Amino acid sequence: MSKIVYSALQPSGKLTIGNYLGSIKNFKKLQDEYECFFNVADLHSITVPQEPKSIRERSLDLIAIFLASGLDPEKSTLFVQSHVSQHASLAWVLNCMSYMGQLSRMTQFKEKSQKSEENLNAGLFTYPVLMAADILLYQTDLVPVGVDQKQHLELARDLAIRFNNKYSQTFTVPEGIIGKETGKIMNLKNPEKKMSKSDPDQNSFILLLDDEETIKRKISKAVTDSMANFDYNDEQKGLKNLINMYIAFSNKTKEEIILKYKNENYSVFKEDLGQLISDSLKDLREKYFEYIKDKQYLEKVMEQGAQKASYIANKTLRKVYKKVGFLPR
C-alpha cells in the first residue's frame, strides 16, 4: 500500500510565488507516488478576520489552482475542509488532550496574537490542534509543509503518540517533508522579511497569477546592492534571494548560475529571471483561467473529493469516539 500524504492551504488571500514554491509545485510529483489529500483549509482561515465573499472566492480559486498545477482529481483527493465535518469533531477530542502550555509556546500563535491583540479568539490558540486533526484523520504518513509549520507538525505527532499510548494504537504518527531553506522566498524590497501578499508594497511580492509584464517589472525593481559582484552570500541578501528563486524555478545549482552570470550586469540576470518565472508559470496561469470559468466542474471535483475524504475520515473518527467512551449511534 502506498503512503498517505496530506497538505492544505488556506483560502485567505492571493497566493505568492513563495506559497507556490513551498507547496503546490511539489504536489504533482507526490501525486504520482502516493495517495494524496490536498485540502482547502477554510476552517483555519477564520481564525483571523475575513470577508465571507473573499473566503468563497479564494476557496474556489484554490481548487482551480490545484487542477491547473496538474493535480488529477481521479488520483488525488481535492476537497474543502468545511465539507468534511469530521475535522471539527476530531479537533474537539484532541483539544481535550492538548496542554495549554504547549499551545501557548507556538511561535505562530505568539506572532499572530501580538498583531490582533484587542480581540484574540480561542480559534487562533487551538489552530494547531485543528491542523493535527486534519492530518491524523487520514492516517497520514507524510506532510509537505513550509518551515513555518514545523512546530505544528510536531504537535500533531505528540498528539498521535499521546492518544495511542492512552487508549491503543489508533493514529499513524506523521512525518514532515519540510521545505528547503533555499525554497524560502523573501520580500523583494526587504530581503530580511518573508515574501508576503499582505505587505502594503505591491512590488515586494509576485503573485502566482501575475502576468508576464508584471513579473518582469517587479523583478527589475527588486533590491540588490551596489557591489557589482555576482555572488551568493549573506552580505548580498537581495541578490541571494533572487538566485534562490532562479534555483527553484530552473533546478540549476547556485554554482551553475554564478558561473553563467559572473561577468554580467545584475540587470541581465534580472531580465532572465523574470522571463524564467513567467515561462514556468505560464501553463498554470492559462489553465487556471480556463478552470475558474467552469464553476460546475469545480463543484463536481469538490463534491467527489468531499465524499471520498469523509468516508475515510469517518472510519478514523468512529474508532476515536469508541475508544474515548462515546456510545455508538
What is the contact surface with ligand TRP in residues (CB under 6 A)? 6-8, 10, 41, 44, 131, 134-135, 143, 145, 149
Q: How many other C-beta atoms are found inside a 10 Å radius of the C-beta of residue 101?
A: 7
The torsion region of residue 251 among left (phi > 0), alpha (psi -120 to 50) and beta comes to left
CB of 211 to ligand TRP, least distance (A): 26
In the sheet where 35-40 sits, what is the strand order?
77-80, 35-40, 4-9, 142-145, 175-178
Nearest distance from C-beta of residue 39 to ligand TRP, angstroms: 7
Catalytic residue among 3, 14, 28, 194: 194
At 109, which helix (H) or strand (E)? helix 107-115
Q: Which residues, at least 6 apart from 214, have a Cβ–Cβ distance to it below 8 Å?
A: 206
Q: Does residue 300 carry a catalytic annotation?
A: no
- The helix/strand/coil state of 142 is strand
At closest approach, how far in Å is the CB of 317 from ligand TRP?
A: 16
Q: Which position among 3, 112, 237, 252 bears the catalytic label?
A: 112
Is 193 catalytic? The answer is no
Which helix (H) or strand (E) segment holds residue 167: the answer is none
Which secondary structure element, helix H or strand E, spans residue 78, and what is its range? Answer: strand 77-80
At 7, the amino acid letter reads: S
Nearer to ligand TRP by C-beta: 6 or 66?
A: 6
Chain position whose Cβ is nearest to ligand TRP: 8
Q: Which of the residues 197, 237, 254, 315 is marked catalytic?
A: 197
- CB of 44 or CB of 157, closer to ligand TRP: 44
Q: What's the closest the beta carbon of residue 312 comes to ligand TRP, in angstroms?
A: 15
Identify whether 112 is a catalytic site residue: yes
Minimum distance from residue 185 beta carbon to ligand TRP (Å)? 14
Closer to ligand TRP by CB, 158 or 271: give it: 158
- Which CB sits closer to ligand TRP, 44 or 216? 44
Q: Which is nearer to ligand TRP, 41 or 257 (CB)?
A: 41
> Measuring CA to CA, how many Å separate 239 from each of 21, 22, 80?
18, 20, 38
The catalytic site residues sit at 112, 194, 197
